[in-house]
């Protein structure tokens, strides 16, 4: 499962990342509320660990905005506030659970496991577009029930387009998602990846759904448009 930790205390963020990675989670870190929002709007996260008090945007504001944008992942709020009014406010903003600081790492992990179980029951696990089907639970993509054999990077690229179908994804964003933030990747490497994915789509009879937006990036589009 992929988790975003949004925490401006770098020492605590580092500790959280260490414990979560040891427990088998894939972890990203955001240092303030605005960065957390941008990352959630760019990548798909199963769980979000949000500090209440962060620069630029509070955890409550982030949770409320994400729920308005139909974010379906579990949200655990970290807070030093322990009054009933504060806790109700945090839950009403969109958080699923809260943890009062200071806390033990075992309690954090137990609450995340509980959230994971809830999310797995409620999670919408498929995304489709013109015969393409992305199964998020099995991390596979098929066309008209024909599985497409994709490498990890090919899958990350095509699943990004599927999750944002109709929207243009910039080259910069695609490179960050597929290769990682700060990766030194040329446009030629991205174009080569796209050619490979197009060949694999063609091999299962899929039409040319990947449209090039010259000078910007790629999107999924109706082949007959």
Instruction: Establish how many alpha carbons lie within 13 A of residue 86's alpha carbon, considering only the half-sphere containing its beta carbon.
Output: 13
For the domain that residue 143 is a member of, what is the CATH number?
1.10.10.10
Domain closes at, from 77, 100, 122 = 122
Q: Is residue 225 part of a domain?
A: no
Structural contact between residues 198 and 143, judged by C-beta atoms closer than 8 angstroms: no
Q: Are residues 84 and 100 in the same domain?
A: yes
Give the pLDDT of residue 82: 65
Q: Out of 68, 93, 122, pick the residue that ends a domain.
A: 122
Q: What is the pLDDT of residue 188?
A: 92
Residues 185, 96 within the same domain: no
CATH number of the domain enclosing 110: 3.40.50.2300
Distance CA 93, CA 33 (A): 14
> What was the pLDDT predicted at 198?
96
What is the pLDDT, as a whole number, of residue 120?
59
**Computed from CA positions of residues 15, 72, 2, 41, in that sequence, does the dihedral angle turn out positive or negative?**
negative
Order of strands across the sheet that contains 217-220: 169-170, 217-220, 210-213
Structure tokens at 80: 């030093």
Mean pLDDT for back-to-back runs of 10 residues, the chain (225 residues): 89 89 89 89 86 86 85 85 68 81 85 77 71 85 93 91 84 85 85 96 92 91 71
The predicted pLDDT at position 94 comes to 79
Length of the chain: 225
Verify that 101 and 21 share a domain, yes or no. Answer: yes
User: Domain boundary residue among 122, 147, 182?
Assistant: 122
Same domain, 54 and 143: no
Q: How many structural domains is the chain composed of?
A: 2
Show the domain range for 138: 126-220
Please indicate, yes or no, whether residues 76 and 168 belong to a single structural domain of this protein: no
Distances (CA, A) of 180 to 27, 43, 59, 177: 13, 11, 25, 6
Which tokens go with 78?
């970290």
Residue 39 shares a structural domain with residue 113: yes
Are residues 116 and 6 both part of a single domain?
Answer: yes
């Amino acid at each position: 499962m992929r988790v975003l930790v949004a925490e401006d205390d770098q020492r605590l963020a580092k500790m959280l990342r260490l414990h979560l990675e040891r427990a088998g989670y894939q972890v990203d870190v955001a240092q303030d509320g605005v960065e957390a929002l941008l990352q959630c709007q760019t990548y798909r996260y199963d769980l979000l660990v949000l500090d209440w008090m962060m620069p630029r945007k509070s955890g409550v504001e982030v949770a409320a905005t994400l729920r308005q944008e139909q974010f379906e992942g579990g949200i655990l709020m970290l807070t030093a506030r322990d009054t009933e009014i504060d806790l109700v406010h945090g839950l009403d903003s969109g958080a699923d659970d809260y943890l009062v600081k200071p806390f033990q790492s075992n309690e954090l992990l137990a609450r995340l496991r509980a959230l994971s179980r809830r999310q797995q029951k409620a999670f919408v696990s498929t995304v489709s577009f013109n015969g393409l089907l992305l199964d998020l639970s099995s991390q596979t993509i098929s066309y008209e029930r024909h599985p497409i054999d994709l490498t990890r990077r090919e899958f990350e690229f095509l699943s990004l387009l599927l999750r944002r179908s109709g929207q243009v994804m910039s080259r910069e964003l695609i490179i960050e998602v597929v290769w990682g933030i700060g990766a030194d990747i040329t446009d030629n490497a991205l174009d080569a990846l796209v050619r490979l994915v197009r060949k694999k789509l063609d091999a299962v009879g899929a039409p040319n759904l990947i449209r090039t937006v010259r000078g910007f990036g790629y999107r999924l589009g109706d082949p007959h448009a």
